[in-house]
Amino acid sequence: MGIMSFLRERMGTILVVIIGVALFAFIAGEVITYGRSFMNGDANTLGEVAGEKVAYTGYLDRVKQSTEMFMQQSGQTSLTPQITEYVQENAWNQTLSEIILKKEMDKVGVAVGDDEVKSMISGPNPDPQIVQSFGDPKTGQLDRNRLNAFLRELQNAKSNDPRLEQWAGFMGPKIQSRRIEKYIALVHNGLYVNSLEAQDAYQAKNKLAKFDYVELPYSSIADNKITLTNDDYQKYYDEHKSLFKNPSEVRSFQYVSINAAPSKEDSVAIKDQVNKLAADFKASTNDSLFVQINSESKAPLVYQRKGQLDPQLDSVMFNAAPGFVYGPFVSGNSVKIAKLVDSRVGPDSVSARHILINPATAGGVDKALAKADSIKKLIIAGRPFAEFAKNFSEDKGSAEKGGDLGTFGRGAMLPVFEEAAFNGKAGDYKIVTSQYGVHLINILSQKGASKVVKVAVVDKPLQASNKTQSAAYAKAQAFLGDLSGDNFAEQAKKAGLTVKNAADVNGTASALPGLDNARELVKWAFNKADKGDVVDQVYTLGDQYVVARLTQIKKAGTLSVDDVKDQIKPEVLMMVKGKQLSEKLQSALNGASTLQQVAQKAGGKVVPAENIVFANPVIPGLSLEYKVIGTVFGLQPKKLSKPVEGANGVYVVSPESFINPAALTNTVREKQQLSQSMMQQVDNRLFDALKDKANVKDYRYKFL
């Protein structure tokens, strides 16, 4: 029983380690048409990594398990579109990393031998999760007798014993993690810093430069004085082509949204509806039932301390008498009324332990309640609570601690659990039923005392009426009907609608600026639309009716100059201005022997700078100027530079002097610092480099 309990309780941990992160979620949409082929007939390929296909079904099963675990641990029943998109990306990257790292480790022969595995389990420094799983709760130390007994049972188990597969699932991720550690160590061991590099780094941080400069800022030429040509764009593009690699296909579209939020008339109608409930609410003798019948959220009635109520209620309920009704009032997107049911002085915190019995395994709720009652009687008769917790509780996290939940305040537990724990007294045993099962609760102690109130709240959401929704939809439908060709902006202006732009949207995006639930619109853009297409229907996204037009498609790979024109326009402007300002400074340099003469001719001024180091190329009062500072350290004192196009303007510099630091005496420490910096960069960039090399193909937009 103990072994099976151990394996069952560790399954959650196993899944987390396999996936790498507990917070993964994958919300799968309907496949466009059942049986339709994707990627040349393969309807199960979510993507490709280094030639290896990523199966949609296997990936979906895997992340669904993690999603269920996350929901259970967080208590949430749904995810926002933003979180959904975030966790989808994490899940995808984790899958990529597993495939890519496995291929790399296989290639270089990184392995974890039998002796290493044995050491991880029962060596002098076993894996922390082994210690946690087979440790003494009182001392935190590994119970080797318990571990060895477990290993002997596994060794003698039959080949079809499910414990063998479960143990392999438990140890597999740990072995894989150890393998990755060895691979990273192998990469680190390939890094080397020599004495010359250490000397250069020391000089870069400590050699001081004093110089003068003349700057003609780019802002001295107004943007409207510059006319950019295709040649200008092409020149900048050719010089920076490596920056325009698009890792995955993105699409841009313009759209209008017609708000279908509740009107003033809708709000008044809902307030009137709630106001009519107030008299019945005040007269009600069963407030809990009244809330269940009339309220949208149906929140359970529990005692709450000051600060836990809605701010509007917090200021009145602690000074009111039971039966007092407050409202209607608006809170968030709801209209509410509230009734003070009761007030009393209660504990601030409770220490308790519990045993959780699962009705599904006990044969039903009635049998689970009977089992809890039997355990309660045995405990009262003298049997140890901790023994029953370890053997029978479904809450394995607390079971390892004898069922102990520690000390908790109000609002930390389920309402039914909290009601029992806070309203009893120290030493009491309570049996309650929640959505997780039947709890046998033992109240160990209660601390503090303050006034608490039980408030019943009835709420009605502020929703748009059918009339409001119909009017908004009709406006959107009329706008869609008027569209033809490229008249999107023209028709929007006629209709008094603002055109919004969604630029470079990836295929898995769930939200857009101003639109939180935009997944269906993104699916249209990637699965049904070509450049210039307008939607074939009005999309309902939350309380918005949306009409959109696809304006641009940027394929994966190196983007064309036309694809990036809007993006690079500020830099191209700067380049053209830089050319003009460089010509102006070069003209001023002709025949000049001092920086002052250059300044006078160019209409600038000489500015001094001192105590500048190469490793921190900042000009005081400006910003980072890599080219300028690099030029300074490459010149001899008193020499004039050629015009240098920097980040803020075009410069001519003249070094005044350099102050060399004392000779480097501790080369070892400098090497260590450089090596640590390199290792940090390697850890951050290794996966990105391997991913770029792996030729990743992402087809998720067809499935999500």
As a whole-number percent, the residues of the chain with pLDDT over 70 amount to: 91
Q: What is the mean pLDDT of residues 489-501?
A: 93
- Phi/psi for 666 (5° steps) reads -120, 80
CATH T-level topology, domain 250-261+465-555:
Chitinase A; domain 3 (3.10.50)
Burial 171-206, CB ≥16 within 10 A → b, else e: bebbbbebbbeebbeeeeeeeebeeeebeebbbeee
Residue predicted with more confidence, 73 or 385: 385
- pLDDT confidence of 3, banded at 50, 70, 90? very low
pLDDT confidence of residue 75: 61
Q: What is d(CA 460, CA 294) in angstroms, rounded to the nearest whole number?
A: 8
**pLDDT at residue number 139:** 72
Tell me the average pLDDT across 469-481: 94
User: Quick one: average pLDDT of 359-363?
Assistant: 86
The structure's pTM equals 0.62
pLDDT of residue 74: 62
pLDDT tens for 11-46 read 334 333 333 433 333 333 333 333 333 334 466 888
Residue 430 backbone phi and psi in degrees, to 5: -125, 140
In Å, how far are 22, 510, 546 from 517, measured between CA atoms? Answer: 24, 6, 11
Tell me which amino acid residue 37 is: S
Secondary structure string (H, E, C) spanning 513-566: CCECCCHHHHHHHHHCCCCCCECCCCEEECCEEEEEEEEEEECCEECCHHHHHH
Hey, what are 540's tokens? Answer: 């309902």
Q: Which tokens is 581 given?
A: 């300002």
Whether the predicted pLDDT of 487 surpasses 80: yes
Can you name the CATH fold of 349-447? Answer: Chitinase A; domain 3 (3.10.50)
Q: What is the pLDDT of residue 19?
A: 35
Q: Which residues, including other chains, have CB under 8 Å from residue 587's CB and lie 6 or more apart?
A: 601, 602
For position 68, what pLDDT does the model report?
Answer: 67
DSSP SS3 for 10:
helix
Q: What is the mean pLDDT of residues 275-296?
A: 90
Residue 248 has pLDDT above 70, yes or no: yes
Task: Find the mean pLDDT for residues 623-631.
Answer: 94
Structure tokens given for 223: 């943007």
SS3 content of the chain, % helix, strand, coil (to 5): 50, 20, 30
3-state secondary structure at position 309: coil
| Confidence band, pLDDT 50/70/90 cuts, at residue 690 | confident
Q: For 301-354, write each residue's pLDDT tens digit.
A: 889 888 889 888 988 999 999 999 998 998 888 999 999 999 999 999 999 999
Question: Higher model confidence: residue 181 or residue 568?
Answer: 568
Residue 96: the pLDDT is 86
578-588 confidence digits (pLDDT tens): 999 999 999 99
Residue 362 confidence class, pLDDT cut points 50, 70, 90: confident
**Residue 116 near residue 49, CB atoms below 8 Å:** no
**593's tokens:** 């022997």
Outline which parts of the chain fall under CATH 3.10.50.40.
349-447
pLDDT of residue 11: 37
Predicted confidence band at 565 (pLDDT cuts at 50, 70, 90)? very high
**Tens of pLDDT, residues 107-141:** 889 898 989 888 888 888 888 888 877 877 667 78
Place of tokens 């009145």: 316
CB 448 within 8 A of CB 349: yes
Nearest Cα to 353, choosing from 426, 441, 446? 441
DSSP assignment, residue 295?
-
Distance separating alpha carbons of residues 171 and 499, to the nearest angstrom: 55
* Alpha carbon distance 342, 359 (integer Å): 33
Cβ 498 vs Cβ 256: under 8 Å: yes
pLDDT at 86 over 80: no
On the question of pLDDT at 464 being above 70, the answer is: yes
Among the residues of 616-666, which ranges form H helices?
626-633
* Residue 18 DSSP SS3: helix
First-to-last alpha carbon distance for the chain, in angstroms, is 42
